[in-house]
Structure formats: structure tokens, C-alpha cells
Amino acid sequence: MGRCKITVIRTTYYPDLAAQYPPYETGCCQAMKEGDVFYTGGPYGVDMPEGFCPAAWRAVFSFACEYASGGRVYDFDRHLVACPDGVRPVLLQLEQAP
């Protein structure tokens, strides 16, 4: 079984929405930074990477499993997924790990 490589492509922050949906800290997500790279692990290659945000993991889990098993998502070699935080979303690129 392979692994999935997860790369943080972009972090964003919407201050106008943060004001409408408190309480939010100001600024981008502190859990992940642009350029961070994570790899799934475990005996089957589908365990959440250490230090990865659990909410973001729920959003990417099924795609990560597909890439870790050698498959493709929507017939593409890589896929872009956003974490579910609407005020501080993080864009994540998933692909098979080399």
C-alpha cells in the first residue's frame, strides 16, 4: 500500500466573515502554513498525518485513501480540496506519494 502526499497550497482569511461569525481569532489558520507537506502513514497508508488538523482530515480522508491505494480522483493525478473552515480555509493538494 502506498501513501498520499498532502501539500498546503494556500491559506486564506476573511475578516468580514470573522466579524459576522465570532469567535474567531484574526488571521489565517495557525495549524497549517503554505508549503507544509504531510504524508499519510500507518500499515495501510491511510492514517492521518502527525500534526494534521482533524477537521481538515475529515474533508480529505476519502481522497487521501484513493491516492494511497494507487488510484486517481476524477481521473486526475492530483486533486485540490479545501478544509471546511469558511472563515480561514486552507487549500490542500493531494496526490500519490513518490
Please choose, from the candidates 2, 5, 13, the residue with its C-alpha nearest in 3D space to the C-alpha of residue 92: 5
User: For position 21, what pLDDT does the model report?
Assistant: 85
- pLDDT digit string, tens, across residues 13-55: 999 998 888 776 778 998 999 999 999 999 989 999 999 999 9
4: buried, middle or exposed (CB in 10 Å: 19+, 13-18, 0-12)? Answer: buried
Cell of 12: 486564506
| Sign of CA pseudo-dihedral 66, 69, 72, 77 | positive
What's the rounded Cα separation, in Å, for the pair 63 and 66? 5
- pLDDT digit string, tens, across residues 74-95: 999 999 999 999 999 999 999 9
User: For position 41, what pLDDT does the model report?
Assistant: 94
DSSP structure class, residue 92: E
pLDDT at 12 over 90: yes
Count the residues in the chain.
Answer: 98
User: For position 22, what pLDDT does the model report?
Assistant: 77
pLDDT at 67 over 90: yes
- Start-to-end CA span in the chain (Å): 12
